[in-house]
Amino acid sequence: MADRQDHWVFYFDPNRCIGCHACSISCKQFHGRDSDADDWRTVTHHQNANGQHPSASEYDPDTASPIENVPISMSCMHCHDAPCEEVCPTEAIEKRDSDGIVTIDQDKCIGCKYCGWACPFGAPTYGDNGLMSKCNMCLDQGPGSGAGAESKNEQDDPIQPNCVSDCVGGAIKAGPEKEMIKEASQAAADRFKSNNERVIVEPFQGNESNLNLVEHAASENAGD
Amino acid sequence: MSVTGGSEWLWLPHVHWAEFIALYLFLGGVSGGAYVTSSWASLMKSLMDTDSWLGKILLARTDDEEHRYACAETARWGSVLSVLAMAVGGVALLSHLGAPLRALTFPVLFSNYGSWLTIGTWVIVLFTTIAVLETLWLHFGSAVATESGLSLFPRKILGRIDSLLPTERGFVWLLDTIADATRLPSRVHGALRVLGGGLALLLVVYTAMLLSDVSIVPLWERTYLPFIFLMSGVSTGISAALLGTVASGGALTRTNHRFCLTDDAIIIAELVAIGLLLSHLSNSSNAAADLTMSTLFGTYSLAFVGGVLLLGTSLPVVISITVTLLHQFTEFGETLRGKRLLTGGYALKYSLVLVGGFLLRYVVLLAAIKTPLAVPGL
């Protein structure tokens, strides 16, 4: 059994995200999912209490929330405590000991949607067949794939999830927890450890740095 | 993204278990409650039959034939409704699943015994087995053949089907034979009823434990929801069974009177628990709890305030007290018109409790809001 430090986690820096949706599109493309299927990786902006984004006509930069312009890229975070795994009656969901990636075996799934309620990130999606599918950190391609796939920690050169490799701003990273902690700022690392968090997230610095990043992403040095 | 103390929230899309699951949770409660009602009525009847000292203490008198009839009818209605509710609820549950046929292989497939779905499935299976046996013994067998009552409708329906069959021996004969062959000695039967009663209560509570295991939904608070569902389940079970007894002509019997008052006490306990849950939500610092309160008294105010708090709980208690006072302390029930009005009052009360019980589950599901993610840095 691998140590939790070896379990893969996501790292997200909202200051480097420009909201281009490349992550969610590359995810959908790699896994061969229909364009109208629910996203495994979503890019959302600040939503109101009804789960709706402010429309362009409603948006007022003087009164708007400072994070209405901040895109948040989310997927299954492969939680260390995996609440979805705990409630699944058939053990179709597995938090793998080897690399910490949470997989779904659709041959065991009954489509009860219990995991959808238990997940704090809203990660599980349910396709036309009613069965659950979600991010598998690109262990394999397609819904339900990845269960039983080789551990990322046993691969010589572990394949990065497509959302990571296609992110133009370097906002998303994935890897063993001990490596991701090194990538994080002190503030993000401290918060991750002290709050026993499920994902490493950089503190948001403000709109100005975000705009700088947009300019950077559009420049020749994009991707640096 | 689950940093506490942030002032800006990322609200997740609502993943609703909609009407079918609400119906399943409601019928699960009705089923368990109706079985408990049936078992209690059976105990009362057996105490009357044996003319025991306990019966004299509990029932005051054991020679009341109307009471005996109403107890028998309540026992039969309760058992048959517990099976019917579970059957319809099971269909509602299966129809919601992505792979319903796969779910039928639960003895092999459901291997996570820490999941309330697995625990609940086994509770349902064991409970339904006992409830089916109880229904068989209460509706079939040589001892029942001479009895009458609306609750014996399964027997009558099968009798009519039998009359269309070319054979002399039909379904009624078959079930009578099975009932006589399997009927247990009274002490063993009593023990099975106690076991069935325990499973029935566990069934009712499980429907809430299933929800409250999801800790990120403040409305599904574990301290209060199981108790609310337990009270509501027993109350709706009593109402379903006694609605049958009222239809059988037992509205003005001591049986109905006692069950009705018991139901009132349970409803009041349920209302107190709902009040405590609302108080807990309003005092919570969780943004989802705050929004849940707005949703309960905003979007779902008609269903929650109008349907659950007024129509489904408060009004039935008011009707019950009014009908009881008129029945017990006046001569209102001496006239035919008075009897009809009192019977209608009881029927209305029980019907409203059932409507309220469904709306409670409906609101608990559709007004459920997940704790939002705190956006870091703000």
- CATH number for A115: 3.30.70.20
**How far is it, in rounded angstroms, from Cα B231 to Cα B213?**
19
Segments in chain B below pLDDT 70: 1-8, 14-15, 59-62, 375-378
Minimum mean pLDDT among A63-77, A117-131, A170-184: which range?
A63-77
**How far is it, in rounded angstroms, from Cα A17 to Cα A3?**
30
Q: What is the pLDDT of residues A78-115, one digit of tens each?
A: 999 999 999 999 999 999 999 999 999 999 999 999 99
Task: Look at residue A14 and tell me whether its pLDDT is greater than 90.
Answer: no
Number of domains in chain A: 1
- Tokens 């704090």 sit at which residue? A120
Interface of A with B in 111-130 (CB under 8 A): 111-114, 116-118, 120-122, 126, 129-130
Q: 3-state class of A8 per DSSP?
A: strand
Cβ of A48 within 8 Å of Cβ of B96? The answer is no
Per-residue pLDDT at A19:
86
pTM of the predicted model as reported, rounded to 2 decimal places: 0.89
Provide mean pLDDT across the span A182-205.
89
Type of residue numbered B224: Y
Task: Kindly give the residue spans of alpha helices, DSSP state H, lying in chain B.
Answer: 19-50, 53-59, 65-96, 100-103, 106-109, 116-139, 153-164, 171-182, 186-212, 225-247, 254-283, 287-296, 301, 315-329, 336-366
Cβ of A195 within 8 Å of Cβ of B8? The answer is no
**How far is it, in rounded angstroms, from Cα A224 to Cα B297?**
51
Using a CB–CB cutoff of 8 Å, tell me whether B2 touches chain A. yes
- How does strand A200-201 pair with strand A8-12? parallel
Per-residue pLDDT at A127:
87
Please write down the HEC assignment for all residues of B190-231: HHHHHHHHHHHHHHHHHHHHHHHCCCCCHHHCCCCHHHHHHH
* Tokens coding B12: 């997740």
Q: Is B111 exposed, middle or buried (0-12, 13-18, 19+ CB in 10 A)?
A: middle
Q: Using the 8-state DSSP alphabet, how is residue A51 labeled?
A: S
**How far is it, in rounded angstroms, from Cα A176 to Cα A156?**
14
Which residue, B83, B242, B285, is CA-closest to B150?
A: B242
Domain residues for the domain of A169 are 4-34+72-195
Q: 3-state class of A209 per DSSP?
A: helix
Check if the beta carbon of residue B286 is closer than 8 Å to that of residue B371. Answer: yes
Q: Is residue A138 part of a domain?
A: yes
Per-residue pLDDT at A68:
55
Provide mean pLDDT across the span A4-8.
93
Q: Is residue A24 part of a domain?
A: yes
Task: Look at residue A53 and tell me whether its pLDDT is greater than 70.
Answer: no
* A202 neighbourhood in chain B, CB within 8 Å: 376-377
Using a CB–CB cutoff of 8 Å, tell me whether A44 touches chain B. yes
Interface of B with A in 106-135 (CB under 8 A): 106, 109-112, 114-118, 121
Inter-axis angle of helices B65-96 and B225-247, nearest 10: 130
* Tokens coding B180: 């006589």
Query: Could you give the dihedral angle defined by the CA atoms of residues B237, B239, B243 and B249, in that order, rounded to the nearest 10 degrees?
Result: 110
Task: Look at residue A54 and tell me whether its pLDDT is greater than 70.
Answer: no
**How far is it, in rounded angstroms, from Cα B234 to Cα B226?**
12
Contacts of B375 (CB under 8 A, 6+ apart): A14, A46, A67, A70, A72, A204, B1, B6, B8, B9, B10
Query: Could you give the dihedral angle defined by the CA atoms of residues B225, B231, B232 and B238, in that order, rounded to the nearest 10 degrees?
Result: 160
Cβ of B377 within 8 Å of Cβ of A14? The answer is yes
Letter string b/e over residues A180-197, b meaning 16 or more CB atoms within 10 A of that residue's CB? bbeebeeebbebbeeeeb
Q: Is residue A213 part of a domain?
A: no
> B91 vs chain A: nearest CA distance in angstroms?
14
Which residue, A163, A90, A59, A16, is CA-closest to B113?
A: A90
Q: Is residue A105 part of a domain?
A: yes
Using a CB–CB cutoff of 8 Å, tell me whether B77 touches chain A. no
Q: Is residue A43 part of a domain?
A: no
Query: Could you give the dihedral angle defined by the CA atoms of residues B201, B205, B210 and B212, in that order, rounded to the nearest 10 degrees?
Result: -170
Which residue, B376, B14, B375, is CA-closest to B217?
A: B14
Q: Is residue A65 part of a domain?
A: no
* B375 neighbourhood in chain A, CB within 8 Å: 14, 46, 67, 70, 72, 204
Per-residue pLDDT at B167:
85
Check if the beta carbon of residue A54 is closer than 8 Å to that of residue A64. Answer: yes
Check if the beta carbon of residue B231 is closer than 8 Å to that of residue B266. Answer: yes
Cβ of A195 within 8 Å of Cβ of B4? The answer is yes
Q: Is residue A177 part of a domain?
A: yes
**How far is it, in rounded angstroms, from Cα B349 to Cα B256?**
12
Per-residue pLDDT at B375:
64
Q: Is residue A64 part of a domain?
A: no
Letter string b/e over residues B294-308, b meaning 16 or more CB atoms within 10 A of that residue's CB? ebbeeebbebbeebb
Per-residue pLDDT at A215:
44
Using a CB–CB cutoff of 8 Å, tell me whether B4 touches chain A. yes
Pick the residue from chain A with its C-alpha nearest to B100: A110
> A199 vs chain B: nearest CA distance in angstroms?
7
Contacts of A130 (CB under 8 A, 6+ apart): A111, B97, B98, B99
Check if the beta carbon of residue B85 is closer than 8 Å to that of residue B31. Answer: yes
